Amino acid sequence: MIRLQTEPFEPGALLAQFSAGRSETGAVVSFTGLARGEAGSVERLELEACPGFTDAEIARFADEASLRFNLHDVLIVHRTGQIAPGEAIVFVATASVHRREAFEAADYLMDYLKSRAPFWKKQHGRDGAAWIEPTDRDHDDLKRWSTTP
């Protein structure tokens, strides 16, 4: 399931809910990304999505990841709007029979989300505001998956 929301979320609650009621899943992996303050230079992040398009693109990618890694389930929750340093910005959880697939799928989904997902990110800080583009490292991280896992 893919969810975009402006409200803050509680990663622990999401993980508990995602893990509940599974009798055939042997592994659940979760990742929580937090907004960084960069030693006080970032006051807030502003994240913009195109509703109906951004969620559909992420869902398409999550479906592909589910097939590739034989997942039982995926949950992606992503904040949009105004995000303060220290707040959770993204939550990814994957469920599979064994741990390897769940670990790799969560890693893969995060590399996609950080570099290719349709978001526009603006950093507001003491030196003004600037739109952010994916870093070289984000692109390199995604390239790791171009060979068969």
Partner 1 sequence: MARVLLFGPLRDLAGWRERTFDPAPATLSALRSVLASLDAALGEAIDGKGVQVAVDKALVRGDVALSPGCEIAFLPPMSGG
Q: Which is nearer to partner 1, 68 or 121 (CB)?
A: 121
Least Å distance, CB 41 to partner 1, is 18
Q: Which is nearer to partner 1, 41 or 70 (CB)?
A: 41
Least Å distance, CB 56 to partner 1, is 6
Return d(Cα 70, Cα 149) in angstroms, integer: 12
Q: Is 52 left (phi over 0), alpha (psi -120 to 50) or beta?
A: left
Q: Which is nearer to partner 1, 21 or 52 (CB)?
A: 52
Return d(Cα 37, Cα 47) in angstroms, integer: 15
Q: Which is nearer to partner 1, 61 or 69 (CB)?
A: 61
Which strand ranges, in their side-by-side order, compose the sheet holding 88-96? 2-5, 73-79, 88-96, 27-34
Q: Which positions from 20 to 49 touch partner 1 by CB under 8 A, shown as an x/- string?
A: -------------x-------------xx-
Site for partner 1 in 89-128 (CB under 8 A): 89-90, 113-122
Instruction: Give contact residues for partner 1 (rule: CB under 8 A).
Output: 33, 47-48, 50, 52-53, 56, 78, 89-90, 113-122, 131-134, 138
